[in-house]
A and B are shown apart, each in its own frame.
Chain A
Amino acid sequence: MKSYAKKHYLLVLLAVITINFFLPRLMPGDPFLYLSVEEGEVAAAFSEEQIAQYKAYYGMDKPLYMQFYDYILKLLQGDLGYSIYYNTSVLEMILLRIPWTIFIVLCALFLSSFFGTLLGAISARLREKPADKFMYLFMVVFSEIPSFLLGIVFLFVLAAKLKWFPLSGGITIFAPHTSMLSYMGDLLHHAALPIITLTPAGLGNFYILARNSMLTVLSKDYINTAKAKGLKKWQILYKHALRNALPPIIARIFLSLGSLFGGAVLIENVFAYPGVGKLMREAVLKRDYVLIQGIFLTVAVTMLLMNWLADVIYKKLDPRVFR
């Protein structure tokens, strides 16, 4: 059974690599085609010879199957290639940016799962009372607001008008930090808006999941037993009910990384936050095949890894799923 799962993941990985290779090549236009200009910009005009030379340099003059073969071969050596637009190693570029993205995604995940679960539990406890109904409605509506929209509102109100937060970037640039503490503070200050923008979408999901999960558990016999023992209400809620309601929530933590990452792509572009999402947008706009592939592959592999982790942990948490 286990080897079946492994095969499964391997198959998905192969599919990902293949799609990842062909998809950017199916887009119209190529990285050397600059025939029109943006406002106030100069078009970089390449001569036909230059283009031929570049294409040869990046192996793009070879037939597609040869390019694919080369791609796989290099991939096996851990080589993600060389960005056409930025003239830099793709791996290097991704490694520089991915910590930023992971940082805001994990913070948002922590906040949304923690508060979502907490509020969900409270809501379940107060079931059918006005507070529960209000919270339910609020969460459903709130979590449906697209995060980039929320981001723009936050940017204008909290950063531009009230000046509580910086307008952009991941850190105060060119400012020497005297202590680790001021450095950390600056990092968090810059990350705050992206994080609180990313949090609501997940918050609603965790809230609803936790609420449902808790409602199921609360109707179980052992809760009645606990009540009969004369335990306090909140003790029952947190010691007995919540702990048993946790497995699906923990699995969801890993599974929600995908959508959170998708949100981060948009948010990073709103706040000019230096993560992978901002890089991805640039790469797509510039038709930088090599870079697009590198980013997509990194993201896909991360997602697969998270799914696998979710699988493993879920099995350990809930023996009913597997023996």
Chain B
Amino acid sequence: MKSETKGTAVTIGKNVAVIFLLLLSMILGLVGCTNRPSESGEIISGDAAGNENATAEEPVIIRLAGEDVGLPNPFRHTAGGAGVSKATLLYDTLLEKDENQDIPWLAKRWEMNEDGTSFTFFLHENALWHDGEPLTAEDVVFTFNYYKEHPPVSNSLTDGKKYIVTDTKAIDDHTVEITLNSYNNTYLSKIGSVLILPKHIWENVDDPTTFDGNGATVGSGPYKMEIYNPEQGAYRFVAFEQYYGLQPAVAAIEWVPVSDEVLAFDNEEIDLVMPTADLVSRYKESDEYIVEEVPAYRNSYRLMMNMETVPELCAVDLRKAIAYAVNRQEIIEKIGRGVGLISSMGYVPSSSPWYNSDIEQYDYNPEKAKALLEGRTYSFTLLTDNSAKSTKMAELIKISLDEVGIDVTVESVESKARDNALKTGTYELLLTHAGGMGGDPDYLRGIYGEKSTTIKGWSNERVNELAKAQAIERDETNRKEMLFELQKIIADEVPMVMLYSTVTYFVYRPEKYDGWMMIRYDHNQRCDFYKLSYVVRN
């Protein structure tokens, strides 16, 4: 009996080992299959890959930290900068944004009608799609109609419930007229930032969110996609040689997976890195690197006050007292390691041409805060996310407010839970870091205006009126006056306490590539998300 058991054990032991080895080799093979572009069809836009970028000099290839952000077309890239920017390199827009304004792009010029509700765009005649087909006004017409039925991931064409484009027609092969439902100061920028689709590919596609067939990434942009490897998070874009506009600055852009960005940059595996303030000094000392310091004007930490559920907060003196009591400079010193920019209480960042400097600045003044409170004391809960930075900031706010007689209990939760509380209004005080301060100041209408859902329980007649009027005011001086008044009222009312904007550092080796555009007028993103960072400018 015993010997029989032994025998079975031995053979099965051997079998297991054999099966194990077999499995292992099978998996090795499988891993292999998914990874060779030529076999698995990962070359999605593939015409004679890569060999046309041979130039006289050594072709420059930029490498950047990558992650999977979806198939880079208007319907399948992921939400957020990394996804949008890749689609933007492949697909052209009618206009592009530089340091100061919207500039001609696919449209070499444009005209506006009398009442500003219709725009005529004159397209470049020699624009081509990556598959060689010519780009015409028909494609533009098709795009605006198609987006109405199938909204892209990054959708700028709806304002409230309405699709802002009412009619699009091709005047001739390279002229297109777009009619809008009304005039608004932001609409030109909005239609100018729409990614134009090739009609000959998308006209047969019913569900663009599942489409990944031939031509799914064919655009008319300065780069075309050669390889997309989703599991590695790797992309390779190559210069489009027949590009009509500003020429691609490098032969290829490659996004590669990275475990630690600073290590990868030091090892020259990637060409651009965004180190923290602590790490920057080591790059500043060397000539090999250029360090750029870019304030994130568009984003700011904010202290939200819920006036819907906490009636005490409806008193403007209390809100002002909080604004005076919070030591924002100290927050920058301690949390931002000395780098950061105090945000304007009027919301519009100081870098904007629409910024009104003649408003209450709320410099740190605990005495004034105490005077405003007249000896009253309060007690609130401050909700924050559980990142180290936010919780420390919340503690600093707690200490500052404590000094003027406002007792604060800090509660930290996971960031999505905090966001959920912000949305549903289940908080008293709340600390958040949010964007939405870039480009045209019409954002004031969304944040403080009538339909605002951001600030709970606050509304101001005059603000609603001005917010509505400035959006359709076509005279720039008048509009500026309105926006200045808006900022003044907002600063006096303090519906939320604006804290500070962080500073992002970008480090690169100029010898390898120095075409980065650091600031775009809408302060939207990072230099590696700007299209103009990758083309030759004069």
Contact = CB atoms under 8 A, between A and B. Distances in A.
Max chain B CB contacts within 10 Å: which of A30, A170, A187, A279?
A: A170
Nearest to A42: B81
A173 B229 contact: yes
Contacts of B433: 36-37
Interface string B47-84: 00000000000000000000110110001111111001
B28 A168 contact: no
Given A37-B435, A99-B31, A42 B80 contact: yes
A89 B210 CA distance: 8
A27 B414 CA distance: 10
Contact of B5 (A39, A40, A318): A318
Contacts of A68: none
B9 interface: yes
A288 B151 CA distance: 20
A17 B125 CA distance: 57
Given A36-B385, A168-B258, A270-B259, A187 B296 contact: no
A36 B504 contact: no
A153 to B, nearest CB: 13
Contacts of B502: 39-40
Contact of B27 (A44, A96, A103, A168): A103
A274 interface: yes
Interface stretch (A47-55, A208-216, A295-303): A47-55
A8 B141 CA distance: 60
B12 A96 contact: no
Given A36-B432, A243-B13, A99 B416 contact: no
Contacts of A36: 385, 415, 418-419, 422, 432-434
Given A87-B70, A163-B267, A169 B257 contact: yes
Interface string B220-264: 000000010111111010000000000000000010111110011
Contacts of B227: 174
B35 to A, nearest CB: 6
Interface string A100-114: 101100110010000
A27 B416 contact: yes
Contact of A274 (B160, B232, B420): B232
B500 to A, nearest CB: 13
A317 B8 contact: yes
Q: Interface size class for chain A?
A: 35 or more
B89 to A, nearest CB: 16
A28 B414 contact: yes
B197 to A, nearest CB: 16
Interface in A268-283: 270-272, 274-275, 279, 282
Nearest to B416: A29
B269 interface: yes
B434 A168 contact: no
Given A35-B419, A41-B80, A43-B434, A88 B230 contact: yes
A13 B155 CA distance: 41
A35 B432 contact: yes
A155 B236 CA distance: 26
Interface in B131-154: 151, 153-154
Nearest to B226: A174
Contacts of A318: 5, 9
Interface string A253-274: 1000000000000000011101
Contact of B504 (A29, A40, A87): A40
Nearest to A250: B16
Is chain B's binding surface mostly helix, strand, loop or mixed? mixed
Q: Interface size class for chain B?
A: 35 or more
Contact of B158 (A50, A184, A279): A50
B231 A274 contact: yes
Contacts of B284: none
Contact of B31 (A53, A100, A110, A317): A100
Interface in B399-457: 413-420, 422-423, 432-436
Nearest to A276: B231
A47 B12 CA distance: 61
A319 interface: yes
Contact of B233 (A156, A274, A316, A317): A274
Which 5 residue pairs spanning A and B have beta carbons closest together?
A: A29-B416, A44-B79, A28-B417, A168-B259, A87-B76
Given A160-B260, A168-B259, A271-B259, 10 more contacts: A28-B414, A42-B529, A44-B154, A82-B209, A88-B212, A100-B31, A103-B28, A167-B258, A167-B267, A246-B9
Interface of B: 2, 5-6, 8-10, 12-13, 16, 20, 23-24, 27-28, 30-32, 34-36, 67-68, 70-71, 75-81, 84, 151, 153-155, 158, 160-161, 209-210, 212, 227, 229-234, 236, 254, 256-260, 263-264, 266-267, 269, 274, 296, 298-299, 385, 413-420, 422-423, 432-436, 502, 504, 524-526, 529
13 contacts: A35-B434, A36-B419, A40-B526, A41-B526, A42-B435, A44-B80, A86-B78, A87-B76, A89-B210, A97-B231, A100-B231, A159-B263, A317-B9
